[in-house]
Chains A and B, each alone.
Chain A
Amino acid sequence: MLSSSIKSAVLPVLRTFVRFKSKADVSPSTQRVIGQMSALSASKKQPKVIRLSNEDLIKHKSIVNAWNLYRRRKVSRQRDQLNKQYQSIVDAMEDLKQSEPELYVWANTKQTNKKFPLQLRVPTDYPPSQPWVYNVKK
């Protein structure tokens, strides 16, 4: 359904409105297939190849270099943190095994009927209208 604002936008267009006859001597169905095929094909739709000047090539290379270094640094930092976290789990469990064998057994028991909570969400670019749910039904 066209809203009133769209109708007002269309009206000035109508004055230049001309209904064309089909240009080619092909049936409408064939014409449709041609349209669909041409939408998929590359002919005439490709942009010009980017030919960079010497300076810009160096700039582009440097940008890519910097990005690779930056990513590498970030990933290695994350990996280091995960390694530390894993090590501290191992340390805690070793200690527990020595000092509190009972607690160690409990801490090592597999929780079989535990489910991943559906309420955990993947972060989005913009927050929902109500960022947090406060009422909890138990």
Chain B
Amino acid sequence: MWRKTASKYSLRAIHSTSKCLTTGEKKVWSELSSRSSSLSIKNAKIKKSLFEGGKPETIVNIERKAAYYSPVDIDKTFQLAYDELARVSGDKYALVDELKSQLTSETDTEIKAQLEKKLNKALVDAEIYNPEVLYNFEYDSELIDASQPVYRKLLHDKWKSHDLMVLMQRLEQLHVIPDTLPTLEPKVEVKVKFPHNTKSEFSSWIVPGTVLPAFAVCKPPTIEITLFDETAVTDDSNSSSLYTVVLVNPDEPDLSTNSFTTKLHYGLSNVPLSHTDNQIDSGKLLTDGEEFTFSSYIPILPEKNAQIQRACLWVFRQNEPLTIKSCERESFNIREFAAIHNLTPVGAHVWRQTFDRSVNAIREQYHLPRGRVFHRVRRTDPYMG
């Protein structure tokens, strides 16, 4: 049986070698009335060179373009491959339609949740091989639309393949876990940058574990929290989409016990986040900053010879809206804080700081007392706690 369909399909494929978007099957990915426009390539020229061959439009330089040679027969093979992929996608879209109709008639919430999970998977499967989606994901970051399940899947895979591993390595090796919280099951990607910086080495996203000078962290950071799981889809009434962000320094010297205490440096709560609106940036702080902040930002300003200190940023998912009036900064117990407010840690980030020449000026700006100075040789006095 399959042979019949295969031969029929191959005949059609031969007739449509160079012309695309003509046959019925190809409509799956060229039809844009029910699909988001972010699933197709925006630049018409690049789209044409992808489907009809010729010199690549992504090479702008005219000489390099002329000197470029595509692999032999790639266009013809691509057309046949596209037919094959579109056919598979067509089956998946049929499944999507079926699941959607089932969803509208279903009333049981549990079955509905299962159906939604299936629907999401079908939507991913229907687009995951779309060459236009792959192109946009690789080369056109503007078109990555996190409201589409397929882009979320691609983003998640990319995160897991590198950034997540780097983060977990740094969290463990720098003992952020278990010094602040026991452990972390990462569910969201947390990216941090300090956008007030005008030096290129400090203005981009921070790699976990980097040592930063005080002037580079003197104003509140932009925090990007990318949500991957489908349950976190937000609408305003749904309280599970509210997040709490806490920045702590577990290395604040405590001379009375000859040990360390944890200090709270920044606290945000009730921050609504969704797949598309996922940044806590200056714009948001400018308009709603007062509402979110329960503990305003004070940079970590290590004292001379107090060694390197860790800035641990934790992102929690809230189970209900919180009313945190204010919080004691000194001797902050983050475990207790999470337990009291019923918070689930979903993401974390860490950078490090040490004393540098910009510390004193920033202390003055923030009206903080001058920092203590410690002897540079470590003594053998025992622990007093």
Closest to A56 in B: B70
B158: min CB distance to chain A, Å: 14
| Partner among B74, B78, B80, B138 whose Cβ is within 8 Å of the Cβ of A54 | B138
B51: min CB distance to chain A, Å: 9
B11: min CB distance to chain A, Å: 17
Q: Which residues of A contact B (CB under 8 A)?
A: 50, 52-63, 65-67, 69-70, 74, 77
- Interface band, chain B: 20 to 34
Nearest 4 pairs between A and B by C-beta?
A66-B81, A53-B56, A54-B58, A66-B84
- Give 29 A-B contacts (CB < 8 Å), ordered by A residue: A52-B71, A53-B58, A53-B59, A53-B70, A54-B58, A54-B135, A54-B139, A55-B46, A56-B56, A56-B71, A56-B74, A57-B138, A58-B50, A58-B134, A58-B138, A59-B74, A59-B77, A60-B71, A60-B74, A62-B78, A62-B85, A62-B129, A62-B134, A65-B81, A65-B85, A66-B80, A66-B85, A67-B81, A69-B88
Residues of chain A within 8 A of B68, CB atoms compared: 53
Per the bound structure, the CA–CA distance linking A52 and B58 in Å amounts to: 11
- Residue of A50, A56, A57, A65 contacting most chain B CB atoms (<10 Å): A56
Residues of chain A within 8 A of B135, CB atoms compared: 54-55, 58
Extra contacts besides A53-B59, A61-B134, A69-B88 (16): CB < 8 Å: A50-B71, A53-B56, A53-B70, A54-B58, A54-B138, A55-B135, A56-B74, A59-B74, A60-B74, A62-B78, A62-B82, A62-B85, A63-B81, A65-B129, A69-B84, A74-B2
Per the bound structure, the CA–CA distance linking A54 and B138 in Å amounts to: 9
CB proximity to A under 8 Å, residues B10-60: 46, 49-50, 56-59
- Residue of A53, A57, A77 contacting most chain B CB atoms (<10 Å): A53
B339: min CB distance to chain A, Å: 47
Closest to B56 in A: A53
- Residue of A52, A57, A63, A69 contacting most chain B CB atoms (<10 Å): A63
User: Is the C-beta of B75 less than 8 angstroms from some C-beta in chain A?
Assistant: yes
Residues of chain A within 8 A of B213, CB atoms compared: none
B303: min CB distance to chain A, Å: 51
A55: min CB distance to chain B, Å: 5
User: Contact: A54 with B56, CB < 8 Å?
Assistant: yes
Per the bound structure, the CA–CA distance linking A50 and B58 in Å amounts to: 17
